[in-house]
Amino acid sequence: MSDLGRGYVHIYTGNGKGKTTAALGLALRAAGRGLKTIMIQFMKGQFYGELEGVKHLSGLVCIEQYGHPQFCRFTDPPDKADVERARAALARMQAISAARSCDILIGDEAVTAMLFNLISEDDLLALMAGRPRAQELILTGRGATQRLIEAADLVTEMQDIKHYYAQGIPAREGIEN
């Protein structure tokens, strides 16, 4: 780990597009300064363009996927396999944090995993509280709770004002996936 001084906790939430993209933008900026980022994708298991893109960043940005090849769907109670995958993602984040193996640790869709009852709010609060002082922690996903917002240092809400999905335009390679 580099010496960032004090690291901060960011949450990118809301119903609008751009939460993962904002986290990846931070990782790209950090790579330009020689900082290492690890992104753990809680609910994504399918191919996204960023998986290929980070291969060009000389090992400074790594993405690990723990989700099902099809983005999991909300069920009550949650699917046992989805819970196991999310718990494995959380355990991996805890191990990375404890080992201090990166400067920036991103839990992509970690907040959504909490919303889907795959992990608990207390799990995320403990991760936030237990991270090394110099590590930047970013959590993304819809549905950030008041407790998460209060515990974070920076919270950005992506608001869906207008989107071409509403006109039936599917996700495009290199733009949405």
pLDDT, position 77: 87
CATH number at residue 53: 3.40.50.300
> Is 79 contained in some domain?
yes
Per-residue tens of pLDDT for the chain, all 177 residues: 666 789 999 999 999 999 999 999 999 999 999 999 999 999 887 777 888 888 888 889 999 999 887 766 777 788 899 999 999 999 999 999 999 999 999 999 999 999 999 999 999 999 999 999 999 999 999 999 999 999 999 999 999 888 887 888 887 777 777
**Is residue 4, in this structure, part of any structural domain at all?**
no
User: What's the pTM?
Assistant: 0.92
Q: How far is CA 119 from CA 6, 40, 84, 153, in A?
A: 27, 14, 9, 21
Give the tokens for residue 92. Answer: 């991996």
| Cross-strand pairs, 12 | 140, 156
Note the pLDDT of residue 54.
86
Q: Retrieve residue 11's tokens.
A: 């949450």
> For residue 32, is it within any domain?
yes
**Residues 78, 110: Cα–Cα separation, whole Å:** 15
Residue 2 lies in a domain: no
* 167: in domain: no
Question: Within a domain: residue 27?
Answer: yes
166 within some domain: no
**Number of domains the chain is built from:** 1
174 part of a folded domain: no
∠ CA 121-124-128, rounded to 5°: 135
Could you tell me the residue range of the domain that residue 93 belongs to? 9-161
Residue 86's nearest CA partner among 129, 43, 38 is: 43
